[in-house]
A = this chain, B = another copy of it.
């Protein structure tokens, strides 16, 4: 159970420890002859470099830590996919830590990664306080994904949520809707920008008096409850723009339960374009966030700090797009007639 070390490999190969080190790091200027000796000896012994020792000595870990808060949300999984592809290509390892929806859990995870001396840190959908994040950013390059807070200490990567909201509203307007309501994401990441985007778009087209927002929390049940409230208001909307897909599912539920036929009587548009929205069964019209790209850009930001030593914060924004599916349609004539 005790693993062989370089020393043993060196002895077996009849060379110095330093040479073994060079071979392990695939350094140039090692003769093929000795390289082979070392490779063989290592194979025979089942030698495996000790990353701890290597990192300690080299003061680099070649590893970046990702702090996540919701393993259940496919949205995050796809960000990681993009991140990991980019990291792989650059020869970096990715380790994931679960903050588990709590600020305490998140900063604990942050601390763990700092203790591991990771080369960089990515926070996805973080709700940690600005000061916590800035403190960590002081120590190691850091980028936050999906956090609109601008800071000079760390980078961010975001979708233009205001634009996303506008796309949703304009889509519904084009279908003839005017009583367009919004179920928001409460204090969650990106909720505010989407809410503001919705309100701004409505105002722009002179429908400020149709603005109607119900509070949600990005969860399915939250969407359900918010929809229940909306549908019992005096002015029943003909369309609802919901702040994320999960909530949209809840809203859809409630609408159908209340006897509305979607999309005939009621159009619903979600946000994120998670795999959930794409299921045929749901086929939810939604706003796509380019998740893989978010992940890719996050890594790129880190790499820039790592390689070129950039220290000035960079804030990247990517564009969302509309994905039309089956939950949105032209406003019903009967409704229009009213």
Measuring CB to CB, which residues of chain A are less than 8 angstroms from any residue of chain B? 1, 3, 48-53, 55-56, 61, 71-72, 74, 76-78, 80-81, 84, 93-98, 100, 111-112, 114-117, 138-139, 220, 224, 249-250, 252-253, 256-257, 275-276, 279-282
Contact = CB atoms under 8 A, between A and B. Distances in A.
Contacts of A76: 71
A116 B116 CA distance: 10
26 contacts: A48-B139, A49-B115, A50-B115, A50-B117, A52-B56, A52-B61, A52-B117, A56-B56, A71-B80, A72-B74, A72-B77, A80-B98, A84-B98, A84-B100, A94-B98, A95-B95, A95-B97, A96-B96, A96-B98, A220-B280, A224-B280, A249-B281, A253-B279, A253-B280, A256-B281, A257-B280
Given A139-B1, A139-B3, A115 B48 contact: yes
B96 A280 contact: no
A93 B110 CA distance: 12
B50 A52 contact: no
A61 B97 CA distance: 16
Nearest to A252: B281
Contacts of A276: 276
Contacts of A55: 52
Nearest to A79: B71
Interface of A is mostly: helix
Contacts of A111: 48
Contacts of A96: 95-98
Nearest to A311: B1
The 5 closest A-B pairs by CB, nearest first: A71-B77, A51-B115, A253-B280, A96-B96, A52-B56
Contacts of A249: 279-281
Contacts of A71: 71, 74, 76-77, 80-81
Nearest to A1: B139
Contacts of A72: 74, 77-78, 275
A51 B94 CA distance: 17
A86 B80 CA distance: 25
Contacts of A52: 52, 55-56, 61, 116-117
A251 to B, nearest CB: 10
The residue in A56, A112, A249 that gathers the most chain B C-beta atoms within 10 A of its C-beta is: A56
Contacts of A78: 72
Contacts of A114: 48
Contacts of A61: 52
The residue in A50, A77, A94 that gathers the most chain B C-beta atoms within 10 A of its C-beta is: A77
Nearest to A248: B281
Contacts of A253: 279-281
Contacts of A139: 1, 3, 48
A71 B292 CA distance: 14
Contacts of A74: 71-72, 74
